[in-house]
Amino acid sequence: MSSSKSCHKCSQPACYIRPHGKIPLCLTHFNEAFVKRVKKTILDNKLFQRNDRIAVGVSGGKDSIALLNVLHKLRKDFPSELVVITIDEGITNYREDSVKYAKLVAEKFDLEHHIYSFEELFGYSLDQIIAIDAKTERSLGACSFCGILRRRALNIAARKAGADVLCTGHNQDDEAQTVIMNILRGEVLRIMRSSPTPRKKHESLVPRAKPFRRTPEEEIVLYCVLNDLPYQEVSCPYAVEASRGPLRDFMLDYQNKYPSTGINVISSADQILELTSKTEEPMNNNYSKRKIDTCPECGEISSSGQCKVCEVLNYLKKKESS
């Protein structure tokens, strides 16, 4: 990543060459460009309103640690209040460490920090869920449970913190993979659910914002390393089960040859979203404008009838008693 070239803005040695455009940058100008891109994403997508209370989901991994640092730097540009939320899924020998990094960064910036565990919210840790699920012939896999419960947990935490918006550290690579996953699953219209601009879809749902949506993962790692930001470097032990693993490898390989791939995929998704937002029913009606229901069991939001969280919890109770 480093080179003997000089920065294209000053005479300092470059520490990084941006693959797209082959632009050499020194540490100062890399940091400047990194923060500037996030600021542009916030402005272009109207992520924050003045004086918003912004909840930042911080797991302790590189993305969320870098995100909180950048948002803290940008506080004078976006007068707002930051509050940190962390979800502890209950993954032994993994989450304990990342929670430690989340606590460190919240303390460093003297921010309110709310930590919730799966166990206190849902009655089970992820490890307990996996142990129950392992008794079945057709296991659903850790990431399926984790994704459903963490989404709910983050929303509950952000709502209890009185947040106007919930920021997550999803980066350009995550976003591009999600678009391709939706296409591969035959669910291209799901793209319409993920507008880059936070929208209040329901009073109990805190709108989501992704300031790193246009920032490549590679630059986030470099930002943490160059700025000495400690983060959890060990991967989740269940990550090997994640279905997007092979796609991730493929896209990284493809992106090495064609550096604009990630951003092109995201731009394509934005074009589809823009086009379909002008489309009359019935296509658009199914997704972006669809009605949000309330789950009859827990009262939280649901796309129809019983919500996914109650489905999961009932499934686990049944498996436990069988």
Query: Site residues (CB under 6 A) for ligand SF4?
Result: 89, 142-143, 146-147, 236, 238-239, 242
Cα end-to-end span (Å), the chain: 55
CB atoms closer than 10 angstroms to residue 246: 9
Shortest Å distance, C-beta 252 to ligand SF4: 17
Residue closer to ligand SF4, measured from CB, 116 or 287: 116
Residue closer to ligand SF4, measured from CB, 66 or 146: 146
Complete DSSP assignment for 51-65: T-EEEEE--SSHHHH
CB atoms closer than 10 angstroms to residue 276: 16
Residue closer to ligand SF4, measured from CB, 102 or 143: 143
Shortest Å distance, C-beta 125 to ligand SF4: 12
Shortest Å distance, C-beta 148 to ligand SF4: 10
What type of residue is 64?
S
Distance of alpha carbon 134 from alpha carbon 144, whole angstroms = 14
What is the C-alpha radius of gyration for the chain, rounded to an integer number of angstroms?
Answer: 20
Provide the β-strand partners of residue 252. none
Q: Which two tokens stand for residue 149?
A: 């419960």
Please check whether residue 148 is in contact with residue 298, taking contact to mean a CB–CB distance below 8 angstroms.
no
Residue closer to ligand SF4, measured from CB, 47 or 236: 236
Shortest Å distance, C-beta 97 to ligand SF4: 13
Shortest Å distance, C-beta 67 to ligand SF4: 17
CB atoms closer than 10 angstroms to residue 289: 11
